[in-house]
Structure 1
Amino acid sequence: MTYYSSEMLRLDNLPEDVLEEILTNLSYDEIAKNRIVCKQFDRICKKLLNRGFNLMEKYHGQCLRSVKSQLPRRESERRSHPLSRHCDILTAIETRISMLSMTFIKYVDLNLCCFIPGKVIDEILRILKQISFTTTPPRPHEILQELRDISSMAMEHFDEKILPDLKHSICASVSNVSSYDMPSTSLKIAHHSGSGSSVLSHGFSRDRLHQIFKKIYSRTRRNKTSVVSVKGQIGKVKQRMKRQGLQIQLQSAKLQEQAKKITEQDTQIAEMRKHLEEWEQKIGDLTAELSRAREDDSIDGCKRKHIDVIGRESDSGNSKEFQAKKRKLIIERKSSTDAKDVKFKIFMSSLLAEESSD
């Protein structure tokens, strides 16, 4: 049997990746409450809370875009649409997220704190899942009542209890802002017990520090406005890309139609060529038959002339030899379908029959 000491069973002895994986199974409210365990838990829980806020914001954006894409363009038609209540709830949540971001994210970006109210993240995720899987969600003022209460309480608590301590810690850690017109050497605040005023070792007073922090705040605001403008430009570019993608799809569809028509025309041309070759073959056969028929007619004409000559000679000479040749030529003569030839053949056959009978 294996025994483990109490030091080996402690959670803070685990690697940070393993501990982070364990804490992800908890709700964000429980993660926020576990920050008080130790410094390691505080560091990991801060990272998980900030990540949870970003993931929740992205998930809300996806839900809002998917709902808006299904709504009609007309405002009058949207009110009677089944997803109108979903859109109202998501819009109200977007307002709450922007208010929370204005309160916390400025100090989260400066690494002075994390997104403290984990219960707010849990409530927003619960509402988003509820409206995603239901066709008829409750009314906005009913489903958002708890979110309004806890988010307002969180922002008031931050402004009243946490923000003064953060400002004091900013004043204490002024040496970390050397990039904003501060000297590169470290500055230390010396407290004089007699006057009660604090003066820097390099001659910087509280007024000077106040001016420096005003500059920091003004630059931060300018950076935010520039970021907003850049986001707007990125949105316009995305819309242009979307329109161009639609145009490309239309052009590709037209190209497919043209390719289909070209294939059909190629098949038709091939069939026409086949028919043309057949007709050319038929015409060649007809011309050959016509030439043979003409040759046969010429041969028949020559034989007729020959028979006539022989007949005239036989009539003049009255010899039996010419009569025999005439009969032989008549018998050897090719058959013809001409009416005159048929009559001539009948006449000659009858004449021969009479002579044979005599």
Structure 2
Amino acid sequence: MVCCISLSLSFLRRHIWLTTFLFYFIFSELPKSSGFLIIEANGGLNQQRLSICDAVAVAGLLNATLFIPIFHLNSVWRDSSKFGDIFDEDFFINALKSRVDVVKELPEEIRQRFDNNISNIVNLRVKAWSSPSHYLQKVLPKLVQMGAARIAPFSNRLAQAVPANVQKLRCLANYEALRFSEPIRMLAENMVDRMVKNSSQSGGKYVSVHLRFEEDMVAFSCCEYDGGEEEKREMDIARERSWRGKFRRRGRVIRPGVNRVDGKCPLTPLEVGMMLRGMGFDNTTSVFVAAGKIYKAEKYMAPLKQMFPRLETKDTLATPEELAPFKVGCSGLHSVSSQ
């Protein structure tokens, strides 16, 4: 009995501050910020969006002030877009103001402390899929101590299974706070209007398909198509260029046949077309294809265009002048198609 009491007291001493913090997080508004949280969202547009939602959840959990998320210049995407190029910054800040404080600039005191260089702020290495308790036990004390902390990269750095209150912050960010910037929304609305007009034969209805058959996707999948040795050589070069040795590590075995059996290979445009036909869409169906630069587009897109002559893309619905402002980074163009 004494042993049990001793163990219980030890457990309580170790976790009482965590329980107290969780109580205040759930039932009250914390009056003072724990510090400034800076995250770098990496990957493509969808990964960045997920990272932003996780960042809002973590900032709320830690009662931290979130610095407007930074987009990491990825070796694959080569995209220099900033948060405000893709999303409506002011709308994001206002939508979250009652739950999470978000700022566009760090205060002078913090900037001076780190010599006006964000990269000087200590980068806390957080493992992928870390639990809320990890952030409370490991990140929060350092955040309070230093006044600011950086987590880079921040892709998949919060566990999927989290308490309801943390998940609500994720949902608030995703469904309420994040909307595309006004230029993207305006162009996207014009493109939708044109797509509806071009689909008059079917009452303004059309099918939208997101093709993921860009070179990086094909290379990363480690699947084989019908390009033979030339394709293999191109994919080896693409993998080395973008991931520098990741696929040549000791013990790493590439098994294209197994990947295909396991359903891990991106669908070719032809396979997508066959799937649409199998669903009952005939050659009178208007189809909008959202995609990046398709791998060997001339070869692989031809069958899809033959199956669906009424096929449109952002390049056919918008003029070069309309698309020009978004060609600085690929995320802007992807956002136009995703809107």
Q: TM-score, normalised by structure 2?
A: 0.23
TM-score w.r.t. length of structure 1:
0.22
Structure with greater helix share of residues:
1
Of structures 1 and 2, the larger Rg is shown by 1
- Structure showing the higher strand proportion among its residues: 2
